[in-house]
């Protein structure tokens, strides 16, 4: 029986993004945007913004470079515009461009609660179905080739740590930071870390399906200027099939890796401050 997912009553999540890249559909045009704008408005997404296009990094395996790579291609026209559709509060966001779609939840109000994973998948899948309807008139599915799940965490002191030199009290992988050969250095003033893990295919652990990227950087909370740590976790890889069902399979796997990695890389002291209770249903990070 699989272990329950780590669960926290008050996780430090400030943003969650589910996105997928898909094969370009020739029928994509401003009419598509107009159609989706009407759909978005009917669901309360009345704010529209234009942003530069996003070129999703590609996870590559088997070559000499074991890291994400950005593909370069010669474009015959201007770079694609990325459209943002937001609700008035700004905590729900749909992002769309010709070959990519994403749904974000953002913690805009300090007292806002993260709506948990099921609500995030529901929002994303609903938008994907709307995009498919607009692009193909419901006659076919988008052909997805990459999926991303990202969790952004703002880790506050919570009475456990005081300044950025206390990183080892927050992150378990820094627990032995003071065990140096000569004992010359004291605690580092700041710590910035990037970690990368291979996500194996559940059906064949010898085959890579994607990667988990973890980035930790020091920061300060506005407007109080209190120290925080920003911890971003992104699971990126290929769907198990090109349809929405395959996207969901990788998204669910990526979500599990993010939640378990978050618990694995942070300390029991912080878990206590966040109210860890792995027996609670639907209360995962």
Q: pLDDT for 70-113, tens place per residue? A: 444 444 456 689 999 999 999 999 999 999 999 999 998 887 87
36 with 126: CB under 8 angstroms?
no
- Dist. CA 20–CA 127, nearest whole Å: 11
Indicate if the pLDDT at residue 159 is higher than 50. Answer: yes
Cα–Cα separations (whole angstroms), residue 255 to 100, 147, 191:
19, 11, 26
Cα–Cα separations (whole angstroms), residue 250 to 1, 144, 255, 263:
21, 11, 8, 20
Among 10-24, 129-143, 147-161, 206-220, where is mean pLDDT lowest? 129-143
Task: Please give the share of the chain, as a percent, with pLDDT higher than 90.
Answer: 66
Cα–Cα separations (whole angstroms), residue 196 to 185, 214, 250, 257:
27, 6, 17, 12
Global confidence as pTM: 0.90
Q: Give 247 or 284, the one with higher predicted confidence.
A: 247
């Amino acid at each position: 029986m699989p272990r329950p997912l780590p669960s926290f009553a008050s996780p430090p999540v400030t943003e969650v993004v589910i996105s997928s890249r898909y094969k370009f559909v020739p029928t994509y045009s401003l009419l598509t945007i107009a159609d989706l704008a009407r759909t978005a408005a009917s669901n309360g997404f009345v704010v529209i913004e234009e942003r530069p296009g996003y070129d999703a990094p590609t996870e590559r395996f088997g070559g000499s470079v074991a890291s994400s790579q950005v593909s370069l291609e010669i474009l015959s026209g201007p770079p694609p515009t990325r459209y943002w559709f937001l609700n008035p509060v700004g905590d729900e966001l749909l992002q769309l461009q010709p070959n990519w779609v994403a749904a974000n939840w953002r913690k805009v109000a300090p007292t806002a609660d993260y709506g948990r994973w099921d609500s995030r998948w529901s929002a994303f899948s609903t938008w994907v179905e709307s995009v498919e309807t607009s692009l193909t008139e419901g006659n076919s599915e988008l052909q997805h080739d990459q999926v991303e799940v990202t969790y952004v965490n703002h880790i506050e002191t919570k009475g456990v740590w005081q300044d950025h030199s206390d990183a080892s009290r927050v992150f378990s992988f820094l627990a032995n930071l003071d065990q140096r050969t000569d004992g010359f250095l004291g605690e580092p003033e700041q710590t910035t870390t990037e970690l990368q893990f291979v996500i194996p295919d559940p059906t064949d652990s010898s085959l890579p399906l994607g990667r988990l990227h973890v980035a930790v950087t020091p920061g300060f909370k506005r407007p109080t200027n209190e120290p925080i740590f920003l911890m971003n976790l992104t699971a990126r890889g290929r769907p198990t099939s090109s349809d929405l069902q395959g996207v969901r399979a990788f998204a669910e796997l990526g979500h599990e890796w993010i939640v378990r990695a978050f618990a694995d890389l942070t300390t029991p002291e912080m878990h206590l401050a966040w109210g860890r209770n792995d027996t609670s249903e639907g209360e995962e990070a």
